[in-house]
Amino acid sequence: MTTIVAVRKGDQIAIAADSQTTFGDDQKLLAPYDCFHDKIFRHGDSYLAVSGSAAHDLVLQGALADLKKKDLSSRRGIFETFRKLHPKLKDAFYLRPEEDEEDPYESSQMMVVIANRHGIFGVYPMREIYEFSRIWAIGSGRKFAMGAMHAVYDQNLSAREIAEIGVRAGCEFDVSSSLPMSVYTVDVAAGAAKEAKA
């Protein structure tokens, strides 16, 4: 699994991730052995990171590149983008959407964090879209990361510093997360900053 975090503080948003890939219960691939250990990718002015199968990374990059009209700037825009992506994931990338018989919708099988100048967004398997005002984390190290970031959020630290603390906590205690980490920051758009302060 992984530890992926995003933090919004002041006029900055940071997204960070560990670098370990885990195969089943008994094998790991660490950054020195992996030519592509960065779990965060850029699409336009957005940074995205995916939790779940390692295949999701290239699949999502390919599906987004193939989609002509997309919007990652708002909760509604992201919902419409992922709604349009779902049939492409099934038809072109052979996604298996089955999870539980009681599920109300087909699953896209991935959790995604999106960070851009408009905010921090989370996409969940049934295409539930959330916008986060301060901190969020996904992956197997998320609970450790959330606790650590919550504990230091009100200290005199930047969004980047808080995100780094979150990933370090995940890597310290989660068996499926390891350093080094990758971190990216963006400046919050003026309109988005006003909305956050309101």
Task: Please check whether residue 198 lies inside any domain of the structure.
Answer: no
DSSP letter for 188, please.
P
> Helix %, strand %, coil % for the chain, to 5?
35, 25, 40
Q: Which residue do the tokens 């970031």 mark?
A: 149
50 belongs to a structural domain: yes
Confirm if 177 and 139 have CB atoms less than 8 A apart. yes
Contacts of residue 98, defined as CB under 8 A and 6 or more positions apart, other chains included, come to 106, 107
- Which range of residues forms the domain containing residue 142? 4-187
192 in any annotated domain: no
Instruction: For 29, list phi and psi in degrees, rounded to 5.
Output: -120, 115
**Per-residue pLDDT tens digits for 164-183:** 999 999 999 999 999 999 99
Angle at CA of residue 129, ends 36 and 126, nearest 5°: 85
Residue 110 inside a domain? The answer is yes
> What is the per-residue pLDDT for 196?
47
Number of structural domains in the chain: 1
133 inside domain: yes
Residue 194 lies in a domain: no
Residues 6+ apart with CB under 8 A from 61: 41, 43
As a whole number of angstroms, the distance between CA 96 and CA 177 comes to: 26
- pLDDT computed for residue 198 by the predictor: 39
Q: Can you give the pLDDT at residue 83?
A: 95
Q: Which candidate, 144, 146, 119, 105, places its Cα nearest to that of 12?
A: 119
What CATH number is associated with residue 47? Answer: 3.60.20.10
User: What is the reported pLDDT for 184?
Assistant: 98
This prediction's pTM? 0.93
- Note the pLDDT tens digit of each residue in 58-77: 999 999 999 999 999 999 99
Q: Is position 62 within any domain?
A: yes
Q: Collect the ranges in the chain with pLDDT lower than 50.
A: 194-198
From the centroid of its chain, how far is CA 144? Answer: 16
Q: In a 3-state reduction of DSSP, which class is residue 114? A: strand
Does 111 fall in a domain? yes
198 and 188 Cβ atoms separated by less than 8 Å: no
